[in-house]
Structure 1
Amino acid sequence: MTKARILRGLAQAMGYACLAIGLAHVLLGNQAIPGAGSAGPTVDSLGRFLGAVFAGYGLAWLWAARQRTVPASAVRALAGVFLLGAIGRLLSLAVAGWPHWFQVALTVLELALAPVFFWLANADADTDTDTGTDTEERAAPNR
C-alpha cells in the first residue's frame, strides 16, 4: 500500500469519525460528553455548538480526501487544528486536572496521529498520476 493510499484512507476515516462525533454532540448535548451529563444548559449549548463545528471539520477532511490529489496544504492545516486541540487538552490538564479517562485516551490519539498526517501530507502530491505509483516505488529497483 502506498503512502498516498494510506493518506487518503486516514483522511476519509478522520472525516467520517469527526462528522459522526460532531453530529452526536449536536443531537445528544451533555450526554455525548463523558462525565458531563449533569453539567447544565450552558455546557450543553457550548457542546452542541462545538459539535456542529466538529462536524464541519469532518466535512473538510472528507473534501480533502475526495480531491484528485489530496491537497498537502489542507492536510497540514487540518492536522494543525487537530494538534492544537490536543495542546488545548494538555493545557486543560495542567490548569484543571485530570479529565475522564476517555478524554486522556483521545489526547494520546491526537498527539500520535497529528504527526502522522504531517508526515503523509505530501504523499499524494508525490504520486505519479500516470502510473499511480509512489515516487519512492518508482525509484526502487525491480524485485
Structure 2
Amino acid sequence: MARTLRALTQLMGWACVLIGAVHVALGNAAIPGAGSAGTTVDSWGRFMGASFVGYGLAWLWAARQRPVPARAVRWLAGVFLLGGAGRLLSLALHGRPQWFQIPLMVIELGLPPVFFWLADAEERALRDSAETVPAGRRMRTD
C-alpha cells in the first residue's frame, strides 16, 4: 500500500504541476473553448494555473515524506473532490461543457475515494506495525 500511495501521490503532483504550468504559459489557449474569452479570463486562467502548480507541489511534498502523511493526502484529495463537485454543479446549472471537461470531472470525482482508501489503509498499517515493533527498534515504512 505504501508504494502505491507514494506512486499515485507523485503522479498526481507532477500532473498538477505540468497542467498548471501549461495554463500559466498558454492562458486562454490552454482552456478548450476559451480562446476568444478575453483578457479577464486569460488573467484568471493564468493565476489559477499558478495556483495549480502550487497544489501539485503540495502533492509532491507529501510524496517525499516518510511515511506519506495520510492526513495531508486526505486534505489534498478533498480539494480535488471539491473541484469535481464544482464541475458537477456547473453541469447541473449551465448544461454540458466542452467534451473534455466531462472526463476531467469523472477523474476529479472518482480518484479522491481511491486516495482516501489508500491513506486510511496506510495509516492502519502503520498503526498496526507500530504496535508490534519491539521498543527501541525503528520500523521501516517503505
Interval containing the TM-score (normalised by the shorter chain): 0.7 to 0.9
- The equivalent residue for 1:67 is 65
Kept after mapping to 1: 8 A contact 2:66/2:141: no
**Structure 2 residue aligned with 1:87:** 85
Q: How many residues align?
A: 131
TM-score, reference length from structure 1: 0.86
2: CA distance between counterparts of 1:50 and 1:131? 38
Q: Report deviation, 1:122.
A: 3.2
Mapping of residues 1-143 of structure 1, within 5 Å: 3-125=1-123, 126-127=125-126, 128=129, 130=139, 132=141
Check conservation: 1:7, 1:123, Cα contact below 8 A: no
Tell me, in whole angstroms, the C-alpha distance in 2 between the residues paired with 1:7 and 1:29: 32
1:114 partner amino acid? P
Greater helix fraction, Structure 1 or Structure 2: 2
Offset, 1:82: 0.3
In structure 2, list runs of 5 or more residues that go unmatched.
Answer: 130-137
SS class of match (2:100) = helix
The CA deviation string for residues 43-89 of structure 1, in whole angstroms up to 9 with x for no partner, is 10100000000000000000000001100110000000000000000
Q: Distance in 2 between matches of 1:46 and 1:121?
A: 33
Q: What is the deviation of 1:123? A: 3.9
| In 2, Cα distance between equivalents of 1:8 and 1:71 | 10
Is there any run of 5+ residues in structure 1 with no aligned partner, and where? 134-143
Inter-CA distance 69–132: structure 2 relative to 1 (3 Å threshold): closer
Q: Matched residues, percent identical?
A: 67
The code of the aligned residue for 1:107 comes to M
Normalised to the residue count of structure 2, the TM-score between the two structures is 0.87
Q: How far apart are residue 130 of structure 1 and its match? A: 3.1
Any idea what the Cα deviations from partners look like across 1:69-122, whole Å, max 9, x if unmatched?
100110000000000000000011111111111110100111110100010113
RMSD, aligned CA: 1.5
Distance 1:85 1:25 in 2: 16
* Distance in structure 1 (CA, Å) of the matches to 2:72 and 2:140: 24
